[in-house]
C-alpha cells in the first residue's frame, strides 16, 4: 500500500537529521491554514524546548532543506514555528500513478466476537451495532493483511432457554421430550420462529410476576445444562430453528461468521477450566460462592470480584465467558481477541479479562473490548415500537427499505425490491458507523434516507455516478491508464483526498472505530461531485486533460468500492 503521509514525514525526519536534530517520531497533518499550505508539521516547539533554541530559527533551518526537494512546490514557516508544505504537481502525479492498494499479508490472527444474538427470541435493534461494527472491523483487518476468525457467540445456554422450554412443557405436555420413560428417537415437532417469538416474551413476563413459575424455569435451565435426555433433544430442535432465523437476518446485513458457537460450546471446557483454576489457588470462597479477586492497586473505583460459581453451584455468564477464552486460546491460537459489545458491558469484560490474565490463560495474547454506544430513536429515547416494545431488527430493516422504495427513480421498473434492500442496508450501516463507536446516536429515518448530506444513499449514488461515467469512458475508447496533468483546484482536491487512504484505514484500525472511514467516504464523494460538475471528462478536447480526469475517476471509484466493501455495503447498479 502506498503511503503518502509517510513520504512527507520521512522527508521531514531526514531534514531534521541533516540539521542535527534527533527525533523519534514525525507526524504530519493537514494544514489548518490552506492558504499557507496543504500539510503542516507542528513538532518544532517541542524541539525548541529540548535544544533551547528559538522555534522559528529551527523551523527556518528545516524549511531551507525541504525547499531543495522537488517533491515540494512551496514550504514556509508560519506563527511560532509551524512548517507548512504544498506538494508539487510532479510528485502528486508520480504518486498517484503508483497503482498499489494492497497491504502485505502477515501471520497475526485476530479473533472477533460480535453479534451476540440470543436464540429462541427475535433479534432486536440492540443487536444492530454489534453486527455492523464487528463485521466492518473484521473486514478492515482482513484488508490490512491480518488473518481473522469471527464468532457470533450465541446466547444459547442460560435462563431464557429454561423459560422457553418450561413454557413449552406446559403448552405441549404430550410432547415425548417431557415423558420420563420415552424410548427411541425423538420426532421432529412443529417449532417455528413465530412460536418462539411468542413464547419467550410471554414466559419472561410471567416469570417476573410468578415466583413459582420462575423457580420451575430455573430448574428447567439446570436440567438443560445437565444435558438431560429429552430436554437437551428439544433444545437441539429449538437451536436449529433459531439459528436459521438469526443467520437469515445476519446475511441480510452482510454479516458473515466463520463460527456459530455459543455459551453451550464453552460448557464443554468448564470442568477443565475449573480444575486448572483450582491448581493456581486464585479461586476464593465468598458466602458459599466461588470468586476470583480481580481488583488492582491502580483502580480508582470499587472493582467487585468475578463470580465464578454461585452458592447453589450454578454457573454464570462470566464463567462461560472465561471458558470461551480458554477454548479460543487452546484451539485457535489467536494473537488478539476483539469483543464488540455494548459499552455498558465494560465491567463484565474487565472482570473476565483480568481473571484471564491472572490465571495466565492469556500470556502474550491481547484481549480488546471495543464498546459501542446505543442507537436511539429520532427523539433521543430508546428505539421502541409504537406499542412501547423493543423493535425487532427485521422490522427496522423493512421500514428503511420501504422508505428507500419511495425514493427510487420511478423510471426503474425491474429489480426495485433488490435495489431498495441494498439501499436500506447502506442507509442503516452508514448511519450506524458515522458517529464515533462509543457515541450514542439518534436514528432519523427521513434524514438518513436522504440523497443529500452524510448519508448512505448519497455515498452510494456518488459511487454509481462514478461507475456510470467510467462506462461511458470505456464506450468512448478514452484511455484512462495514468494521470498526466493536474488542471485545477477540483482535480487537485480530489487527488489530495485520495492520498489520505492509508492514514484513514490505520486510524480506523487503531481507534477500533469506523467513523474515520465514513467521514472520508463523504469527503471523497463530495470532492468527486464537485470535480464531476466542473471537469467535463467526456467533452474535454485536450487529450491529456481528458485521460487524466478519466484515470482520476477510475481511482476514486476503486477507493470508494474498497471502503464500501469494508463497511459491508453493496452497490446497486442504479437507484
Q: What is the full per-residue pLDDT of the chain (575 aa) written as tens digits?
A: 999 999 999 999 999 999 999 998 999 999 988 999 999 999 999 999 999 999 999 999 999 999 999 999 999 999 999 999 999 999 999 999 998 999 999 999 999 999 989 998 888 898 999 999 999 999 999 999 999 999 999 999 888 999 999 999 999 999 999 998 899 999 999 999 999 989 999 999 999 999 999 999 999 999 998 999 999 999 999 999 999 999 999 999 999 999 999 999 998 899 999 999 988 989 999 989 999 999 999 999 999 999 999 888 777 889 999 999 999 999 999 999 999 999 999 999 999 999 999 999 999 999 999 999 999 988 888 776 655 567 889 999 999 999 999 999 999 989 999 999 999 999 999 999 999 999 999 999 889 999 899 999 999 999 999 999 999 999 999 999 999 999 999 999 999 999 999 999 999 999 999 999 999 999 999 999 999 999 999 999 999 999 999 999 999 999 999 999 999 999 999 99
Tell me what pLDDT residue 388 has: 58
Domain termination residue (choose one: 57, 87, 117): 87
CATH number at residue 534: 1.10.730.10
CB 220, CB 166: distance < 8 Å: yes
395 domain-assigned: no
Based on the domain organization, do 517 and 420 belong to the same domain?
yes
CB 141, CB 108: distance < 8 Å: no
CB 119, CB 262: distance < 8 Å: yes
Distance of alpha carbon 264 from alpha carbon 221, whole angstroms: 12
β-pairing, 336-342 with 109-113? parallel
CB 320, CB 263: distance < 8 Å: yes
Tell me what pLDDT residue 367 has: 98
Distance of alpha carbon 37 from alpha carbon 54, whole angstroms: 22
β-pairing, 72-78 with 39-41? unpaired
Tell me what pLDDT residue 253 has: 96
Beta bridge partners of 390: 384
For the residues of 19-81, what is the DSSP string, one character each? TT---S---EEE-S-TTT-SEEE--HHHHHHHHTS-HHHHHHHHHHHHTT-TTEEEEEEETTT
User: Cα–chain-centroid distance for residue 316?
Assistant: 28
Distance of alpha carbon 168 from alpha carbon 191, whole angstroms: 10
Based on the domain organization, do 418 and 503 belong to the same domain?
yes
CATH number at residue 304: 3.40.50.620
Based on the domain organization, do 129 and 274 belong to the same domain?
yes
Based on the domain organization, do 44 and 136 belong to the same domain?
no
571 domain-assigned: no
Residues, the chain: 575
Based on the domain organization, do 330 and 439 belong to the same domain?
no
297 domain-assigned: yes
CATH number at residue 44: 3.30.1360.70
pTM of the model: 0.94
The residue with cell 477510475 is 554
Strands of 72-78's sheet, edge to edge? 28-30, 39-41, 82-87, 72-78
Domain termination residue (choose one: 252, 286, 314): 252
Based on the domain organization, do 123 and 150 belong to the same domain?
yes
Task: Indicate the helix (H) or strand (E) that contains 308.
Answer: strand 306-309
307 φ, ψ to 5°?
Answer: -80, 120
Beta bridge partners of 72: 87
Task: Label residue 53 exposed, middle or buried (CB < 10 Å: 0-12, 13-18, 19+).
Answer: middle
Based on the domain organization, do 358 and 303 belong to the same domain?
yes
Based on the domain organization, do 195 and 247 belong to the same domain?
yes
Based on the domain organization, do 246 and 182 belong to the same domain?
yes
Domain termination residue (choose one: 252, 284, 313): 252
Based on the domain organization, do 277 and 318 belong to the same domain?
yes
Based on the domain organization, do 140 and 284 belong to the same domain?
yes
Of 516, 466, 523, which Cα lies nearest the Cα of 498? 523
575 domain-assigned: no
Q: CB-based contacts of 484: which residues, under 8 Å, 6+ apart?
A: 93, 544, 547, 548
The residue with cell 439518534 is 442
285 domain-assigned: yes
CB 117, CB 196: distance < 8 Å: no
CB 120, CB 160: distance < 8 Å: yes
Tell me what pLDDT residue 383 has: 74
The residue with cell 484512462 is 480
Based on the domain organization, do 224 and 287 belong to the same domain?
no
> Range of 214's domain?
159-252
Per residue in 87-112, is it b (16+ CB within 10 Å) or e — as a string? beeebbbebbeeeeeeeeeeeebbbb
**Residue 81: C-alpha distances to residues 12, 21, 40, 64, 198 (Å):** 14, 15, 10, 13, 68
210 domain-assigned: yes
Of 482, 537, 541, 510, which Cα lies nearest the Cα of 140? 510
Q: How many domains does the chain have?
A: 4
HSE-CB at 47 with a 13 A cutoff on CA atoms is 26
323 domain-assigned: yes
397 domain-assigned: no
Amino acid at each position: 500500500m502506498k503511503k503518502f503521509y509517510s513520504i512527507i514525514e520521512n522527508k521531514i525526519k531526514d531534514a531534521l537529521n541533516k540539521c542535527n536534530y534527533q527525533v523519534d517520531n514525525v507526524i504530519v497533518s493537514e494544514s489548518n491554514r490552506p492558504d499557507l499550505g496543504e500539510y503542516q508539521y507542528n513538532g518544532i516547539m517541542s524541539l525548541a524546548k529540548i535544544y533551547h533554541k528559538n522555534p522559528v530559527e529551527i523551523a527556518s533551518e528545516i524549511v531551507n532543506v525541504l525547499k531543495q526537494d522537488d517533491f515540494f512546490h512551496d514550504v514556509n514557516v508560519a506563527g511560532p514555528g509551524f512548517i507548512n508544505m504544498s506538494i508539487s504537481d510532479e510528485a502528486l502525479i508520480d504518486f498517484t500513478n503508483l497503482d498499489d492498494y494492497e497491504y502485505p499479508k502477515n501471520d497475526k490472527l485476530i479473533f472477533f466476537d460480535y453479534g451476540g444474538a440470543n436464540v429462541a427470541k427475535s433479534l432486536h435493534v440492540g443487536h444492530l451495532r454489534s453486527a455492523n461494527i464487528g463485521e466492518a472491523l473484521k473486514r478492515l483487518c482482513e484488508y490490512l493483511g491480518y488473518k481473522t476468525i469471527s464468532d457470533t457467540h450465541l446466547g444459547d445456554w442460560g435462563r431464557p432457554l429454561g423459560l422457553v422450554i418450561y413454557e413449552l412443557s406446559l403448552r405441549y405436555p404430550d410432547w415425548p421430550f417431557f415423558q420420563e420413560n420415552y424410548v427411541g428417537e425423538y420426532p421432529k415437532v412443529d417449532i417455528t420462529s413465530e412460536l418462539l417469538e411468542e413464547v419467550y416474551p410471554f414466559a419472561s413476563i410471567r416469570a417476573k410476576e410468578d415466583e413459582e413459575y420462575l423457580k420451575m424455569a430455573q430448574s428447567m435451565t439446570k436440567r438443560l445444562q445437565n444435558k438431560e435426555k429429552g430436554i437437551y433433544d428439544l433444545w437441539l430442535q429449538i437451536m436449529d430453528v433459531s439459528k436459521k432465523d438469526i443467520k437469515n437476518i445476519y446475511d441480510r446485513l452482510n454479516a458473515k461468521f466463520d463460527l456459530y458457537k455459543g455459551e453451550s460450546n464453552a460448557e464443554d471446557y468448564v470442568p477443565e477450566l475449573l480444575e486448572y483454576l483450582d491448581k493456581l489457588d486464585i479461586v476464593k470462597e465468598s458466602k458459599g460462592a466461588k470468586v476470583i479477586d480481580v481488583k488492582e492497586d491502580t483502580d480508582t473505583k470499587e472493582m467487585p470480584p468475578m463470580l465464578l460459581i454461585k452458592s447453589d453451584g450454578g454457573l454464570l455468564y462470566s464463567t462461560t465467558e472465561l471458558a470461551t477464552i480458554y477454548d479460543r486460546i487452546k484451539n485457535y491460537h489467536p494473537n488478539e481477541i476483539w469483543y464488540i459489545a455494548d459499552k455498558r458491558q465494560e465491567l463484565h469484560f474487565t472482570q473476565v479479562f483480568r481473571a484471564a490474565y491472572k490465571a495466565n490463560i492469556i500470556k502474550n495474547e491481547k484481549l480488546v473490548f471495543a464498546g459501542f454506544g446505543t442507537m436511539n430513536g429520532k427523539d433521543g429515547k430508546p428505539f421502541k415500537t409504537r406499542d412501547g416494545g423493543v423493535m425487532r431488527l427485521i422490522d427496522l430493516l423493512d421500514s428503511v427499505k420501504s422508505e428507500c422504495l419511495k425514493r427510487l427513480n420511478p423510471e426503474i421498473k425491474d429489480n426495485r425490491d433488490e435495489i431498495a434492500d441494498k439501499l436500506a442496508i447502506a442507509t442503516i450501516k452508514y448511519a450506524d458507523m458515522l458517529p464515533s463507536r462509543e457515541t450514542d446516536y439518534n436514528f432519523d429515518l427521513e434524514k438518513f434516507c436522504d440523497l443529500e448530506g452524510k448519508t448512505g444513499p448519497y455515498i452510494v449514488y456518488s459511487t454509481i455516478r462514478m461507475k456510470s461515467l467510467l462506462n461511458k469512458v470505456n464506450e468512448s475508447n478514452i484511455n484512462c491508464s495514468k494521470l498526466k496533468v493536474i488542471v485545477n483546484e477540483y482535480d487537485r482536491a480530489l487527488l489530495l483526498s485520495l492520498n489520505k487512504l492509508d492514514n484513514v484505514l490505520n486510524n480506523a484500525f487503531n481507534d477500533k472505530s469506523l467513523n474515520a472511514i465514513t467521514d472520508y467516504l463523504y469527503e471523497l464523494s463530495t470532492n468527486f461531485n464537485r470535480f464531476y460538475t466542473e471537469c467535463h471528462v467526456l467533452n474535454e478536447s485536450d487529450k491529456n486533460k481528458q485521460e487524466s480526469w478519466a484515470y482520476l475517476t477510475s481511482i476514486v471509484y476503486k477507493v470508494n468500492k474498497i471502503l464500501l466493501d469494508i463497511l459491508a455495503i453493496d452497490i446497486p447498479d442504479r437507484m
